[in-house]
Structure 1
Amino acid sequence: MTEENLNTSGNPSIQDVVEQRLSRRGMLRMGVGTAGAAVLGSLSLAACGGGGDDVAAAPAPAPSTTPISLNFPAVAKSTADLVTVPAGYTATVLYALGDPLNAATPDYRNDGTDTNFETRAGDHHDGIDYFGLNAAGTARDVAGSERGILVMNHEALTDQFLHAAGVTANPRPAAEADKEIPAHGVSCVEVRKVNGRFVYQRESQYNRRITPNTPIEMRGPVRGNALLRTKYSPAGTDTRGTINNCGSSVTPWGTFLTGEENWSGYFARSATDDTARGGATAKSVVSLARYGRPQNSASRHGWETAGAADLYARWNISQTGTSTDGTDDYRNEMNTYGYMVEVDAYAPAAAARKRTALGRFAHEMGMFGLAQAGKPLAVYMGDDSRGEYIYKFVSTASWDAADASPANRMAAGDKYLDAGRLYAARFNADGSGQWIELTIANTTIANFANYRFADQADVLVNARLAADAVGATKMDRPEWAAVHPVTGEVYVTLTNNSNRKIEASGSGQQSVDAANPRAYTDAPTAATAPGNVNGHIIRFRETGNEPAATTFAWDVYLFGAEAGMDATRVNLSALTADNDLSSPDGIWFSRKTGLVFVQTDDGAYTDVTNCMMLIGKPGQVGDGAVQALEYTKADGSKLTVNARVGAKPTSATLRRFLVGPKDCEITGITETPDGKAIFVNIQHPGETIAKANIGDATKFLSHWPGNAGYGAGGALARPRSATIVITRNDGGLIGTDGTQVLNGY
């Protein structure tokens, strides 16, 4: 779910080999946070971590030449209101909106009368990761596949279903705001195998919610800066809560890292706020506009209208006070959002921390590259809005394998995430790319005419403006990132972009370029207006496979398209009925098998099928060919863009594994360390609901998971976001009968 902002700056818009390596390296013994990383040649064995679930050292498997293969039939496209998985697999609902996290909280009635969301599952389940426990549930066990803690994001709301009669218009009743606010944030919930199937533990010591009301520490270079000073924290060192959390990952030291995505829409500004701040050219006004909050902006939910209490007033970021530093109002409150947030699942008393060194923008997520002993860590991030950028953070500290199991996990976060360099990516037409450092030492940034940066903290708070200054490449909504667990190549989903045009002719539009080469029409969403309707997945390899490299090579792993579309301009990856897809969003690699999982958040193909998840065998950068796309410009001249198309998948290398219920997004995935269970989130089924229809269940688009027998309501239940667990009926690995190529990773 995305509320898109627009980048209106003037920047230019721009299987077998790996499989054999994986199989051969499968015999290597791997330890906590490390893995074999033989990459297409003479690369040495390197340690790696992050991006998924870490596992303990395991006995080396016997050498095998059996290539890994997909073991399931492709699931057919479907518009049914259910979750479909292949024969031989079982999907079970595990944890849904409103489920209580302690014995004192009542069972969820699912009729709009429920309260106490501080101790219930939130809404819109999104990024998710698994943290293993020992058999007694008393300590971390990175190999624990029978018992663990799921940590997941609750991105947003289908707010009508939270209230008996739907949402009340502004001014909002405090009772409604008091449910909606804590239904956002993060859940930590223990899960355990009981009689062979996973169930969540209602009374676990690890269960907790982190909501927009939870105290959180600001850390890194921006901590204490004037841009963070508010009535709540005059020193600029703390804030309350996290919101619109989207993707997630696991750090190499075993904590949860979550991204704050489209947070700006939660804040309101008055019609005269520009004047109060000093006029249209005032720095704070320029910053607010670049981050999607011009004056006279209404908030998404109107919480600021629910009362005078500080709990509600903070959502109004207009300058209402008389102080010069913002300590008597919430004019700076939005500057405390838009970061990567670290949570320790094993330590409920530990405060979450916002890691400001990783920059401020619409963070879809942050994914760690392969951790190599003695070298810095890299974190890859996308800014999920049309025409925004791909970023990389490189830590100042070099990785020490002893930190894979530190005594203090949040202190390890301080070490690796509070100091480093932030870069934005530029993609060149020849398949090369550069990482451009966002630093006040760069005179292009220091002398940027559109915004005068005061210091490096200002650069980080206004990373979008700094990336504008250096001419980073505008991308088609960069969303999830994933790192191949052996090659280290980085994959980033570019979900779609209705503003990608043959040639930009208006504010916020971007012309086609090599990295974003398609602009085409597709009913029903773009019958007359071209854009990148179905999205694509870009991938890149750092020069020398070095985390601190400032150059890289890239191509496009996959172009989303309907199978029957024009192969010369749209269906460049030659997708078939077994694997066609639109709007790739989530992407993730199994650390057990090396298979890639792709999830969709789509509105362009939903007349044919609900959103889905596919499983594939990835290739490598450069395994395909260049395909020339020819366009006719408005003046009749021709424009040729060379698309760098990765090896075209077949049904043997990519196929549909899951289709979700109606009106949903498939998002978030993690696995048990043994690779025999995956957890997947089904977000906002049946979200399209008008208040006028809230009293007539027959008009709901979806009734899942109640219609599948989970929770109250039965066949006409209000729909609920939920986590499902998928297992093979024979107890095998998910997706394959092949060699356990990454055993112990």
Structure 2
Amino acid sequence: MSLQDSDNNNSNNEHFNEVLKKSLASPSRRMILRGGFGLAAIGSLPMLAACGGSSAAPAIAATGIQILGTSSISLGFGATAKSLADQVTVPSGYSVQVVHATGDAINTATPAYSNTGAETDDWTFRVGDHHDGMALFYVTAAGMYSATATDRAVLAVNHESSADSHFLHPRGQTSGGVNGKKFNQFGNWDAKTRPGLEVLKEINLHGVSIVELSKDSNGHFSQINPASTLNRRISAQTVVNVTGPSAHLAGIKQLFTTKFDTTGATARGTLNNCANGTTPWGTYLTCEENFAAYTNIRTGGTAPDAKAVETRRRYGVARAPISATATAASGQGWFTPTDTADTNERFRRWDSSADGANAMNDYRNEPNTFGYVVEIDPLVSSSTPAKRAALGRFAHENAAHSNAVAGQALAFYMGCDSRNEYFYKFVSQQNWSAADVGGGMAAGDKYLSEGTLYVAKFNADGSGQWIELNISNTSIAAYNTNGFSFSNQAEVLVFARLAADAVGATKMDRPEWASVNPSNGEIYLTLTNNSASNRTPSTTDGANPRSYNDPDGNMGSGNPNGHIIRLKEVGNLASATSFNWDIFVFGAEQDSGDSVNISKLTANNDFSSPDGLWFSQSTPGLLWIQTDDGAYTDVTNCMLLAAVPGVVGDGGKITVKNSLTVNAVTTTGTQETFIGALLPDARLRRFLVGPKGSEITGLTETLDGKALYVNIQHPGEKTGAVNAANNDWIADPTKLQSQWPTNGGGLISAYGPGTRPRSATIVITRNDGGKVGL
């Protein structure tokens, strides 16, 4: 899900290992542990017993953890086998159908998709590419939001990236770069230009597709209703409102000021829409993740001042030499077209050079306008989306809200998807009232404009703190690095990564999706993976305790398989400023050995690189886990698993033995951590395996749980041939890694024309009409 997972964090904040070593040196550690879980009545749980909190022995002496027992939820399907086939594989007794795929028309006037790149429209009325997070909304007969099931439903789907949009153009993305290299998102643009139609397609395929669904003969919402007036696209050109805390909104708008809107009250579009969220009042949250590669400083363009340069460095913006005058422009080259009218400077805006007299005369602030949670009302086609700056600016993966409790504040949990980045939460100033259900954007103004932004600091004793990001914090007020210091709270929100650096937040390994268990309010977070350059035995820590090589030596080292961590707020309050944590499950190959396969995964449930994470709303306590993997793809394509988790603290303390070999040099070490109870096959089981080259991402379901929607992103990602004469990509069917879904892989019949692969949303149902997964 992440295209930009490089480490832009050079702060001196402690890793978990530094915190852990300090804690282990303290003779009072056991008392801290006992106190750290104090508000939760778990003094007799195995975790505390294993940590010396009582004389009881751990349930499994070899590991210090127990096997999780029975549950009221039972997984009712046979495990799906690992697969390298170019198809979607699901358990026996289930059916799969494509709802829509990249390029499908969303109205009756747009021609059907050719799947050859021959389209001459600019993608304004087509389904976007790289399907990601999504949500289903029920609609009343009057067109209003309904919290209960109705006969009408709207599906909102995110579209993440256009960095590999070869399939959308006749011969792939136009060549660029230097030294004869094929153009890619990290290449450089000199005097080369791109065709305007190519660029417009790529700009408009980002964002969100909102479509009303029709029911099929089986009564499932499974196809676009092209005649619906609710169908629309939110793209990187859609005008959006800029919002934030009233006391700091003027400062936020100043940072949004561009030639397009000299007041900063609006911005253009939403970009690189990764995962998502919903709100208790019935709106959609789309999250802007890796936006940094799209705005550039053109060759010869003037760099901004030192303060802005440091913020760009910290966010990875521009990927070009940032000096007094740029010598090369990196990124997608969206600013280069000369063959198409630059209406409203729709191309020029992507050049973030500081060439004007001030920010009102150029687009130096354009990078500041991306990296937010964007709220959309999917049921009011005339409504204007809003960038919710109060929730901070970073590489947002998703935004998962706490369980809504009347009279209590709401929290939204958010990961920043990049190496060594942080985990955040926003707590609303207003307490929740069920009277706001159906309140649309006005309710969003109430709950998402005023509140407090926090970042997580994890302690070695299994506790943690939420640190408020506020200019009144002396560490933030005194922060000064490479010419950057904070002038006001608006800058704290817009440059939240730097504020988190200042307060000493805990660096994490690519924190991606968060999800909240509706049955108990606990928060789960995927830590997808890490490389040997960043995770060695000497730099492991309590939250990232493994450092090892891929067992067959083929697919990476460091922490290639990732894991999932979970948190419990003290007092089970969304507004709590402290929490407890443990590791829910470690990804691993089944034959990795005990030091790597710590969670004792089997052939029925081993996995790698957890990414998407979503708790069922129809079956509270049922967790779906999706993978975006490059470490296990020599054995199996990416997958979807179902899990029945326990609770924070149901496991124990363990010591991990690490061994990593790089360039024939082996280093070893040990690391203590906390792990939840083991999950046997009965509580963690593989449900789906995707086609070749795909990532499995994004889930939603009908309220009765009888239809599960899943996104298949970028099948055939590693595809193509290069013509040596012009460096153009060639759509050679013999070189396609995948032809899904045009090959009908895992479906009743092939979907759509041509041979090129397409991202798609699928719906999965049980043949007997029962709940999916049970």
Instruction: Give TM class, smaller chain.
Output: 0.7 to 0.9
The 5 Å alignment of 1:448-459 reads 448-450=479-481, 451-459=484-492
Aligned partners of 2:258 and 2:453: how far apart in 1?
26
The runs of 4+ residues in structure 1 deviating greater than 4 Å are: 270-273, 523-527, 631-639
2:114 to 96, 109, 121: 109
Which amino acid in 2 is paired with 1:189?
Answer: V
Q: Structure 1 residues 613, 137: closer, same or farther in 2, change over 3 A?
A: farther
Deviation, 1:66, is 8.7
Aligned partners of 1:102 and 1:628: how far apart in 2?
58
Aligned partners of 2:207 and 2:434: how far apart in 1?
31
2:104 to 85, 99, 107: 99
Residue 468 (structure 2) aligns with: 437
Residue 27 (structure 2) aligns with: none
Within the alignment, does 1:10 sit opposite 2:7 as a pair? no
Deviation, 1:114, is 1.6
Q: Structure 1 residues 546, 525: closer, same or farther in 2, change over 3 A?
A: farther
Residue 690 (structure 2) aligns with: 660
2:760 to 715, 719, 722: 722
1:411 to 419, 422, 442: 442
Aligned partners of 1:633 and 1:576: how far apart in 2?
23
Which amino acid in 2 is paired with 1:119?
Answer: F
Moved more, 172-181 or 195-204: 195-204
1:353 to 381, 386, 408: 386
Contact 2:720/2:736 (CA < 8 Å) preserved in 1?
Answer: no
Where does structure 2 lack aligned partners over 5 or more consecutive residues?
A: 17-39, 43-69, 177-192, 322-327, 723-728
Residue 740 (structure 1) aligns with: none
Deviation, 1:277, is 2.8
Residue 244 (structure 2) aligns with: 220
Deviation, 1:140, is 2.8
Which amino acid in 1 is paired with 2:91?
Answer: P
Find the residue that maps to 2:174 and give its secondary structure: coil
Moved more, 141-150 or 434-443: 141-150
Within the alignment, does 1:697 sit opposite 2:748 as a pair? no
Q: Structure 1 residues 633, 521: closer, same or farther in 2, change over 3 A?
A: closer
After superposition, the C-alpha distances for 1:464-493 in whole angstroms (9 at most, x for unaligned) are 001111111111101111000011000011
Which amino acid in 2 is paired with 1:455?
Answer: N
1:605 to 632, 657, 671: 632
| Number of equivalenced pairs | 671
Moved more, 410-419 or 192-201: 192-201
1:306 to 318, 337, 341: 337
Within the alignment, does 1:268 sit opposite 2:296 as a pair? yes
Residue 581 (structure 1) aligns with: 607
Which amino acid in 1 is paired with 2:645?
Answer: P
Within the alignment, does 1:168 sit opposite 2:192 as a pair? no
Moved more, 212-221 or 632-641: 632-641
After superposition, the C-alpha distances for 1:118-162 in whole angstroms (9 at most, x for unaligned) are 10000000000000123x473333222543000010111331101
Find the residue that maps to 2:543 and give its secondary structure: coil
Residue 51 (structure 2) aligns with: none
Q: Structure 1 residues 641, 234: closer, same or farther in 2, change over 3 A?
A: same
Q: Structure 1 residues 524, 108: closer, same or farther in 2, change over 3 A?
A: farther
Which amino acid in 2 is paired with 1:427?
Answer: F
Q: Structure 1 residues 352, 467: closer, same or farther in 2, change over 3 A?
A: same
Aligned partners of 1:347 and 1:77: how far apart in 2?
43
Aligned partners of 2:263 and 2:418: how far apart in 1?
31
Find the residue that maps to 2:653 and give its secondary structure: strand
Moved more, 637-646 or 605-614: 637-646
Within the alignment, does 1:646 sit opposite 2:670 as a pair? no
Aligned partners of 1:526 and 1:642: how far apart in 2?
28
Q: Structure 1 residues 385, 549: closer, same or farther in 2, change over 3 A?
A: same
Within the alignment, does 1:502 sit opposite 2:519 as a pair? no
Within the alignment, does 1:317 sit opposite 2:352 as a pair? yes
Contact 2:242/2:265 (CA < 8 Å) preserved in 1?
Answer: yes
Within the alignment, does 1:592 sit opposite 2:592 as a pair? no
Deviation, 1:690, is 3.0
Residue 491 (structure 1) aligns with: 524
Contact 1:476/1:500 (CA < 8 Å) preserved in 2?
Answer: no
Find the residue that maps to 1:707 and give its secondary structure: coil
Deviation, 1:637, is 9.8
Aligned partners of 2:126 and 2:633: how far apart in 1?
31
Residue 138 (structure 1) aligns with: 143
Contact 1:166/1:691 (CA < 8 Å) preserved in 2?
Answer: no
Which amino acid in 1 is paired with 2:505?
Answer: A
Which amino acid in 2 is paired with 1:418?
Answer: S
Q: Structure 1 residues 269, 629: closer, same or farther in 2, change over 3 A?
A: same
Within the alignment, does 1:424 sit opposite 2:455 as a pair? yes
Aligned partners of 1:614 and 1:558: how far apart in 2?
12
The 5 Å alignment of 1:133-532 reads 133-134=139-140, 136=141, 138-144=143-149, 146-157=151-162, 158-170=164-176, 171-196=193-218, 197=220, 198-221=222-245, 223-225=249-251, 226-270=254-298, 276-278=303-305, 282-293=306-317, 295-296=320-321, 298-307=329-338, 309=342, 310-323=345-358, 326-406=359-439, 409-450=440-481, 451-498=484-531, 499-502=533-536, 511-522=539-550, 530-532=557-559
Contact 1:574/1:648 (CA < 8 Å) preserved in 2?
Answer: yes
Aligned partners of 2:374 and 2:604: how far apart in 1?
38
Deviation, 1:40, is 7.7
Deviation, 1:322, is 2.1
Deviation, 1:524, is 7.2
Residue 62 (structure 1) aligns with: none
Contact 1:115/1:179 (CA < 8 Å) preserved in 2?
Answer: no
Contact 1:476/1:532 (CA < 8 Å) preserved in 2?
Answer: no
Q: Structure 1 residues 651, 503: closer, same or farther in 2, change over 3 A?
A: closer
Q: Structure 1 residues 402, 162: closer, same or farther in 2, change over 3 A?
A: same
Within the alignment, does 1:537 sit opposite 2:543 as a pair? no
After superposition, the C-alpha distances for 1:243-293 in whole angstroms (9 at most, x for unaligned) are 1011111101000011100001111124676x7434xxx211110100002
Contact 1:149/1:190 (CA < 8 Å) preserved in 2?
Answer: yes
Aligned partners of 1:730 and 1:66: how far apart in 2?
24
Contact 2:411/2:574 (CA < 8 Å) preserved in 1?
Answer: yes
TM (norm. structure 1) is 0.87
Which amino acid in 2 is paired with 1:687?
Answer: E
Which amino acid in 2 is paired with 1:380?
Answer: Y
Which amino acid in 2 is paired with 1:655?
Answer: R
Contact 1:633/1:639 (CA < 8 Å) preserved in 2?
Answer: no
Residue 733 (structure 1) aligns with: 771
Q: Structure 1 residues 664, 452: closer, same or farther in 2, change over 3 A?
A: same
Contact 1:268/1:316 (CA < 8 Å) preserved in 2?
Answer: yes
Residue 22 (structure 2) aligns with: none
Deviation, 1:400, is 1.3
Q: Structure 1 residues 66, 303: closer, same or farther in 2, change over 3 A?
A: closer
Q: Structure 1 residues 558, 590: closer, same or farther in 2, change over 3 A?
A: same
Contact 2:720/2:731 (CA < 8 Å) preserved in 1?
Answer: no
Contact 2:256/2:368 (CA < 8 Å) preserved in 1?
Answer: yes
After superposition, the C-alpha distances for 1:645-689 in whole angstroms (9 at most, x for unaligned) are 111111100100000000000000000111110111000000112
TM (norm. structure 2) is 0.84
Within the alignment, does 1:83 sit opposite 2:118 as a pair? no
Residue 23 (structure 2) aligns with: none
Moved more, 114-123 or 678-687: 114-123
Aligned partners of 2:88 and 2:41: how far apart in 1?
38
Which amino acid in 1 is paired with 2:756?
Answer: R
